[in-house]
Structure 1
Amino acid sequence: MGCGFCEAALSNTVGTLVVDCVVKPVGRQLDYVRCFHDNVEKLREKKRELADARVRLLHKIEDAKNRLLLIENDVQNLQSRADETLSDMGTLEEEIQLNKRCLNWCPNWSWRYQLSKKAMKKIQDISELLDKFGQLGPVGYPAPTALPTIDFLCSKEFVFSKSSETAFYQIIEALKDENINMIGLWGMGGVGKTTLAREVGSQAQKLKLFDKVVITVVSQKPNFEKIEDEIAQYIGFDMKNEQGRRSEQELWLRLKNEPRILIILDDIWESINLKEKIGIPIGDDHKGCKVLLTTRRQQVCQAMDCQNLVQLGCLNDDEARTLFEKKAGLDDFSDDSIKIRANQIGKKCGGLPIAIVPLGSALKGKTHYEWQAAYRRLKDRRLTEIEDVNEENAYVCLEASFDYLKNMETKTYACKQLLEDVESLELGYVEGHPNLIPSLDLGFRKLTSLDLRGCQSMQCLIDASKQQVPITALSNLRKLSLSRMFHLEEMCNAPQPQGFLQKLEEVIVSGCSEMQVLFPIAELRSIEQEGPSRYLSLQSLKIVKIWRSNNLKYIFPMSVANSLGQLHTLKIESCSQLEDIIQDRQVAYKCLLQSLRE
């Protein structure tokens, strides 16, 4: 019986070989049978190579997705082909395993021939697939809308007031008007211009007034390259090419290809030529491009030829009270004594949402005594060193709400949000804070002017004592004024951070009676310590004026002497304990006499 089966198998094999040999060389067909085991082993090896290549590809895809990149189509197709091939391999391996032999002693030559042929075909397919893996380029590319969408940026808790509702509909109607291409939204700081502008952008897109809505912050000292990059990223345009940076004209030409686009320029402080400085086409250049700008100053809107000016006012008393009570979690059943204090505190916010929201939220769930303490803190406080005097209450309220935040992590986050883009800071008679920067993660990297007056509790500007890895802080500061800082002992109580005061040009110090050395002494690292030594460099310093600082012994440490080449004015009055300008007197006169004019 077994011999009969073998005869049938042999007959079948010979028949298959005869058919194939009619059109194919005989040697190749016999190789399929003779090299069966070798072919199976090669197939397994190719399978392992493909599985490894697939895993590497999946790692790249995961990394690209983590970086918010979109995956290329050919990469997705290659992954699908690899998955399909490996799945087919499982089926073929099972077939090889089941049909290796006929019974225990008689090889099934027909099966071997067919399976060996399939194995060789699969080996060829996998080899071609592996070649494609080797030729694969980048797996991902940036999404055209990699920046936050206007829907994402707009506040989920936006509440219309009478003023904001009126302004909203005025802007929407202006956007619908084909004859209007520039709209100016103006009002005092903290009144909610940015929030309203984002809401307008979101609704304008939902109403299909525009195909794309772009938003970027201009700020007091605009970085035009950054503004161009943000606008370009929204429309999928790269401002850099092989030759370097593209020009404003190239961005201008690219924007003209956008049929309907709204560009929101937030926080403009002075008139800007949008075509020359940024490359925005409006008016006759491109009817489909419209600009909505926000500013504190009505004259900026007029200077930039806005055809429609919209003012955003403060909340009225009822609106302010309703918003404050909502944020503080008060209702008809709340304690009357707390509601009385809430009304008094709410009035201090002056109808400004920027003050109402954080202060109300910070007092939510507090006791009657904590409400009383908050009111006492706010009652007689007023900061007058702010450019727009009408905003002073907002800053006082923000300071109070900061003190009621529950933990330092929340405080740090709040500081980042409020101070991220500050370029000029003036603080007067702020108590309870021993330093300006409680954590070097708040580095005031954009700050160019700092004026501190009468901050009695402040002992140093930067407390880096708990920081293991100092980072950048005050690296763009150009002017520093310290007045009546009676307990200020030093600028930095630990190794100074990177770039510390590297662009400082002018220093004015008055009435700092506890300070012994004006500039910090550089940290000297031992050879065993990692990282470069950070010596303070004052290469930009030009003017130093000091008076009534009776405990001052030195102005400069010896380590900065060689960097004082720009210093041309040095005035010192009523500093009775001053021993030397620079700690090393010989170095002092060599360095200073070369540059001082006054």
Structure 2
Amino acid sequence: MVDVAGNIGGVLSPVLEVGKWLAAPIWHQFKYLYNYNTNFKNLEKQVDKLKNTREEVQRKVIAAERNVEKIRQNVKDWQKDVEKTITKAEQLIQGKEKIPGCFKGLCPNYKQSKRAFKLKRDDIDPLLKQEKEFDQVSFPTIQQDIWLRSSEDYLTFESRNSTVKHVWDALNDDNVYMIGVYGMGGIGKTTLVQEVGRKAEKDKLFEDIVFVEVTQTFDIKRVQTEIGDKLGVKFSNESERANKLYERLKSGKKILLILDNIWENVDLKTIGIPSKMDRGGCQLMFTTRNLDLLEKMGSTNNFKMGILEEGEAWNLFVKMAGDVIQTSELNSLPNDVCKECGGVPIVICTIAKTLKYKSHPSVWKVALQELKALSTTKSHSSVLGQARVAPT
């Protein structure tokens, strides 16, 4: 006897499987058609939520940028992805009203519904989740010192070129650890080493260039703090200051540390500055008025700066004073005042700028008399901050 049930079952089984296979896409289409309005409402809701989140992040970004902080790359990438996703979602939402044959959007379309569902699930939801993982949108940066930026006021002088060259050659010599520039006050030592520093920055000679003014009243804590801030070193307690700076400076990275205006023999180790033997890639540059001081500190590559030559002094005076020197009533007064400045750049600049808009001869005569009086009792460098002229 033939097993009819078994045969029928055997025949129906693959047919049922085919039926299930054919029914699957139909069911998916039906599902998207059935949830058409729901999918679009959910999409619109999440788009609004994403827009609000975008605004919150943007406010944080603006605040961070105003505080001169650097925005994290993952935040920038997130913002770009958000803009693209919002644009895509808005186009999809607007597009549902424009489907041919629709009347006021009443034409469920399973493909559009499917896109709305997947856009929310695969794009918007992950972006919202990612934003919650941002601990911070930015991080503080070590700002470049203003003096390292291009200086339009810097003037080259023939008499200084050899000194600049010697300092530059020493800076490029890995065997040289200390470099000293010395000379009377106001002669332009600081200006020269800063210009060399700018050139070193431009040529990528060092990874970090730090400039700290020591001043006559040496404050070790202030010096350590300034060096630390510029190298990104943070101190949690007083006892670790020197040790942390020492490790940072001897790390092997190329670092130029300029200590400006030294007045006394500074014990470098107490600050946290390594010795020549374990300096890593660190180089030191000093400015001071005293050659003996450099030698006591162990600096053997020392270069003297002198006063400007007469022609150089006059060119600087003209640049600082401007067109007023062409006033015919002044006669030889501008030349006389310039000569009395003694070729000292800071004195020339101070006096010339003071007289820049003074065209009355009497004002220039007063300035000349004060310069002569000061030159007989004090050094020219003391003129800075003391020169006064009567108003016109």
For normalisation by structure 1, the TM-score amounts to 0.56
Q: How far is 1:92 from its partner?
A: 0.7
Counterpart of 2:332 in 1: which secondary structure? Answer: helix
Residues of 2 paired with 1:105 and 1:342: CA distance? 86
| Distance of 1:143 and 1:281 partners within structure 2 | 25
Matched residue, 1:294? 287
Query: What is the CA-CA distance between 1:79 and the residue it aligns to?
Result: 0.3
SS of 2:326's partner is coil
Q: Which has the higher contact order (CA 8 A, sep 6+)?
A: 2
Preserved contact between residue 274 and residue 280 of structure 1 (Cα < 8 Å): yes
Is 2:184 the partner of 1:183? no
1:240 aligns with 2:235: yes
Q: Report the number of matched residues.
A: 371
295, 301, 306: which one aligns with 1:308: 301
Letter aligned with residue 66 of structure 1: R
- Amino acid across the alignment from 2:235: K
Q: Specify the alignment match of 1:280 in structure 2.
A: 273
SS in structure 2 at match of 1:91:
helix
Q: Deviations over 1:465-516 (max 9, x none)?
A: xxxxxxxxxxxxxxxxxxxxxxxxxxxxxxxxxxxxxxxxxxxxxxxxxxxx
Q: Which residue of 1 aligns with 2:366?
A: 376
Q: Contact (CA 8 Å) 2:250, 2:280: kept in 1 or not?
A: no
Alpha-carbon distance, 1:396 to partner: 3.4
Deviations 1:517-573 (A, max 9, x none): xxxxxxxxxxxxxxxxxxxxxxxxxxxxxxxxxxxxxxxxxxxxxxxxxxxxxxxxx
Corresponding residue of 1:218: 214
Distance in structure 2 (CA, Å) of the matches to 1:301 and 1:106: 86
Aligned to 2:119: 122
Counterparts of 2:340 and 2:22, CA distance in 1: 96
Equivalent of 2:386, from 390, 396, 418?
Answer: 396
What secondary structure is seen at the aligned counterpart in 2 of 1:174? helix
Higher helix share: 2
The aligned amino acid for 2:41 is E
Aligned: 1:267 with 2:261: yes
Q: Which has the higher strand share?
A: 1
Aligned-pair distance for 1:68? 1.7
Partner residue of 1:22?
Answer: 24
In the TM superposition, what are the counterparts of 1:47-86 in structure 2 within 5 Å?
47-86=47-86
Rate the CA distance shift 1:78–1:240 in 2: closer, same or farther, 3 A. farther
Contact 2:69 2:139 in 1 (8 A): yes
Kept in 2, the 8 Å contact 1:71–1:141? The answer is yes
Q: For 1:47 and 1:120, how far apart are their aligned partners in 2?
A: 12
Deviation at 1:309, TM superposition (A): 1.9
Deviation of the 1:115 alpha carbon? 2.2
- Cα distance, 1:245 vs. partner? 7.8
Question: Which residue pairs with 1:168 in the alignment?
Answer: 164
Q: CA deviation at 1:219?
A: 1.6
Tell me, yes or no, if the aligned pair for 1:383 and 1:396 is still in contact at 8 Å: no
The range that moved more, 245-254 or 257-266, is 245-254
Deviation at 1:156, TM superposition (A): 2.0
Aligned residue among 327, 331, 347 for 1:355:
347
CA contact (8 A) 1:150 1:214 kept: no
Structure 2 unaligned segments of length 5 or more: list them: 1-18
Do structure 1's residue 255 and structure 2's residue 264 form an aligned pair? no
Residue identity over aligned pairs, in percent, reads 27
1:114-153 paired onto structure 2 within 5 Å: 114-124=111-121, 125-144=123-142, 146-148=143-145, 151-152=148-149
- Going from structure 1 to structure 2, the CA distance change for 1:106 and 1:70 (only over 3 Å counts) comes to closer
> Does the aligned pair in 1 maintain the 2:262–2:286 contact within 8 Å?
yes
Q: Is the 8 A contact 1:182 1:308 kept in 2?
A: yes
1:344 aligns with 2:339: no
Q: State the 1:377 CA deviation.
A: 4.3
- Residue 157 of structure 1: CA displacement? 2.3
Classify 1:354/1:379 alpha carbon distance in 2 versus 1 (closer, same or farther; 3 Å).
Answer: same
Over the aligned positions, Cα root-mean-square deviation in angstroms equals 3.2
Q: Does 1:364 align with 2:359?
A: no
Which digits, 9 at most, give the CA deviation of each residue in 1:379-408, with x for residues without a partner?
Answer: 046569x9x7442334433x44xx77x9xx
d(CA) in 2 for partners of 1:203, 1:59: 38
Task: Indicate whether 1:35 and 2:25 are aligned.
Answer: no
Alpha-carbon distance, 1:364 to partner: 2.8
Distance in structure 1 (CA, Å) of the matches to 2:330 and 2:137:
59
Instruction: Look up the SS of the partner of 1:262 in the other structure.
Output: strand
1:223/1:364 Cα in 2 relative to 1: closer, same or farther (>3 Å)? Answer: same
Give the Cα–Cα distance (whole angstroms) in 1 for the partners of residues 335 and 81 of structure 2: 68
1:376: Cα distance to partner? Answer: 1.7
CA contact (8 A) 2:32 2:113 kept: yes
Q: Deviations over 1:40-96 (max 9, x none)?
A: 222111111111111121222122222221110110111011001101012211222
Tell me the distance in 2 between the aligned counterparts of 1:42 and 1:393. 77
Which of 327, 330, 334 aligns to 2:326? It is 334
Query: Is residue 178–residue 287 contact of structure 1 (8 Å, CA) maintained in 2?
Result: no
Q: 1:390 to 1:107 in 2, by over 3 A?
A: closer
Q: 1 CA distance for matches of 2:144 and 2:57?
A: 26
Residues 309, 343 of structure 2: 8 Å contact kept: yes
**Distance of aligned partners of 1:396 and 1:375 in 2 relative to their CA distance in 1, 3 Å threshold:** farther
Structure-2 separation of matches of 1:302 and 1:66: 46
Task: Judge conservation of contact 1:43–1:122 (CA < 8 Å) in 2.
Answer: yes
What is the 5 A alignment of 1:175-574?
A: 175-235=171-231, 237-240=232-235, 246-277=240-271, 279-286=272-279, 288-330=281-323, 334-367=326-359, 369=360, 371-380=361-370, 382=373, 389-397=379-387, 399-400=388-389
Taking the aligned partners of 2:220 and 2:234, their CA distance within structure 1 comes to: 12
For 2:267 and 2:137, the matched residues in 1 are separated by: 40
Q: Does structure 2 conserve the Cα–Cα contact (< 8 Å) formed by 1:215 and 1:264?
A: yes
Cα distance 1:204–1:162, how it changes in 2: closer, same or farther (>3 A)?
A: same
Structure 1 gaps, min length 5? 1-16, 407-598
Q: Which residue is equivalent to 1:547?
A: none
Where does residue 432 of structure 1 map in the other structure?
none
Shift, 1:108, TM fit: 4.2
Please say if residues 147 and 233 of structure 1, whose CA atoms lie closer than 8 Å, have aligned partners that are also in contact. Answer: no
